[in-house]
Amino acid sequence: MGAIYFALQIAGFLALLLISWYFFDKRYKGKQRSSQQQNDILKHSYPTPEVFVDPADGKTYRVYYHEQTGTRSYVEEYSQS
């Protein structure tokens, strides 16, 4: 009986671990944008001075702000070199 209880605990822990890993990865990424959506963001929003490097992928992002809706969008900055 003890072995079954222990196996259930291990199975539950592994299930919880897999579920949390799956959702954690999507928490910051959000939806992928099409180039049309990206252009709409750049057209209707203005860039803020906020620029940061995402430690997960090492890419540089700039924050764009849409004044009418108050939404903030994170757009990858491409190097000029």
User: pLDDT tens for residues 62-75?
Assistant: 999 988 888 888 88
73 contacts 66 by C-beta, under 8 angstroms = yes
**10 and 38 share one domain:** no
Contact 37, 54 (CB under 8 A): no
Same domain? For 47 and 81 the reply is yes
Q: Which two tokens stand for residue 33?
A: 């944008």
81 and 43 within one domain:
yes
Residue 37 and residue 21 share a domain: no
Q: Is the pTM of this model over 0.75?
A: no
25 and 5: one domain?
yes
Contacts of 54 (CB under 8 A, 6+ apart): 28, 60, 61
- What domain range is 4 assigned to? 1-30
Domain count, the chain: 2
| 25-44 tens-digit pLDDT | 555 555 566 777 777 777 88
